[in-house]
Chain A
């Protein structure tokens, strides 16, 4: 009974320790220890009352730990995730320590199981297990990065991999249960194996289907968006052309009447006509909106469409937009990610410029010998301190917003050859994206 209590205590303690490491939480010795002993005694007590032998109730302690973590940090997803990761780590290090031990005492792994009854060997294997699992956990923690990032990654994109991880945790747990519980007969082990294979493959298949349906929906949506943007762009270009044709028509007419005045040698009439018509026409010429025309230099259709859409939206909101592109440009970056970044910059620019007295957005795409620069600047009122814009979750727009710049940073983190500078001067805010040629 005491031995069994100690065994359970060490197992639960290990999982608790590893998940604490994964959660990046401080270890409070008294509190954690009392929870640990309490939980273990509770489980051992229940098992002895119900006369259930060995760790069949192992799942119960996971639940207990989850409740304990949930009470302290009020998070669901992250707790489940780190508990299942901890489970995987614990089981892996158990197997690892057994293997190492069996090498040293020169026996097979299965035989090593028996040495658990030898207190000294059991103790050594336990220490090995702790060392292995703590180092795996620390390495993993470093790899994963901040826990907020982990949660965000799971929520936004990688839900399926989360499910996969859970499935793997479950699989390993059941696997461990099957072989570590010595009281099971061969038949019950076989049945357990079949059951767990069915469960795990069902989860995996479901996850796969989920991934597939999700990606196809996303693809469809982005295609639709692209089409819409391009259609708007074409429509705008068409109206521009119509206006230019009209102007050309006017201009030929004017030339014809000018030659009429000259033939009649009517200098006064000519002067009056010139001042009246020509000046007016040249003014009219200025009114033709050639803004979008500049976008034709962008070689990537998706980017062209995106800019056209955002520029039209800005103009609708009463913002004057100036586009400065003077040469053919192709940007060497994953086009979907590029469009996301530019889209966020443009949305922010529009939102900030809208509230200013003289709203203006300037876009420049510039090619230099070693880089391409995308510069988006907008007028701004009540600018927050510039460093706030790089802080996670900062927003000047209320709840559920302001994720944009965070997404931008997440995307750009992957690219070593891209830098993103921010500048604020003369009531103008500027985002500069520089994509360097070298990789």
Chain B
């Protein structure tokens, strides 16, 4: 059962929001319940002091109290780092990038007519439902990297390779649609990965799944997307051993 917390300064809108969410839970049979419905941010914070689970929060951005919704979300994050935060906002104060990057909010709902709000709430709840009900073995395969400055959460197969970036102490993670840099060493990261990743060179850790071609002469690996990684003799040996253990047939046949 996932708990839902709602904070909205306008009594009318608070009731309306609560009613809509309750209706959706009933109709879709979600495993959720509304725990707190309040006009005061402190009430929510009081409830999650000893929080151990991931909850859902619907927060109005403009709370007309000493703190606003974004600040409230920041405080919530300290006790519930992986909870689902959804902002309720007017068109004027809408700032999706801020929601996303400041408190890693899941989504936002724009105030408008009742039908639209209700639809947006449903989308959010469906999204959360699908995220939380995925079978756990699948979840285990996800890469949940934690360095001192960044947390990355994605499927292993989405990662192409890691390389030490141009400046020391920085590692760049290459994926299909993003490149993420973080502080750390390849050794630390390698320890958090599974079998499909091989340290093919001092400054590369590559995902075997994405290797298209191994060039022995030039000591280069080509990936399916056209990128290349360097290859050391030791790395080549390790790569061959790993590949034969994963694919029993010899390479290239």
**Chain A interface (Cβ within 8 Å of chain B)?**
322, 324-326, 362, 364, 366-371, 373, 375, 377, 385-387, 389-390, 409, 412-417, 419-425, 432, 434, 436
Contacts and interface: CB of A to CB of B under 8 A. Distances in A.
Interface string B99-140: 001100000000000000000000000000000000000000
Nearest to B226: A385
Given A366-B98, A366-B102, A416-B183, A423 B177 contact: yes
Contacts of A436: 149, 183
B169 A416 contact: yes
Given A364-B97, A371-B149, A425 B177 contact: yes
B217 interface: no
Contacts of B167: 412-416
B178 A419 contact: no
Q: Which 3 A-B pairs have the closest CB atoms?
A: A324-B95, A364-B97, A419-B181
Contacts of A387: 174, 179, 225, 227
A322 B96 CA distance: 10
A385 B150 CA distance: 24
A264 to B, nearest CB: 31
Contacts of B26: none
23 contacts: A324-B98, A326-B70, A362-B96, A368-B102, A369-B74, A375-B97, A375-B101, A386-B176, A386-B178, A387-B225, A389-B179, A409-B166, A412-B167, A413-B166, A416-B168, A416-B183, A417-B183, A419-B183, A421-B178, A423-B177, A425-B178, A434-B149, A436-B183
Nearest to A324: B95
Nearest to B104: A368
Contact of A420 (B102, B181, B226): B181
B177 A386 contact: yes
A394 B96 CA distance: 31
Interface in B170-191: 170, 172, 174, 176-183
A434 B181 CA distance: 10
A434 B176 CA distance: 21
A373 B101 contact: yes
A103 to B, nearest CB: 37
Nearest to A423: B178
B98 A364 contact: yes
Nearest to B166: A413
Contacts of A414: 167
B142 to A, nearest CB: 18
A37 to B, nearest CB: 32
Contacts of B169: 416
A241 to B, nearest CB: 18
Given A387-B227, A419-B170, A436-B149, A366 B179 contact: no
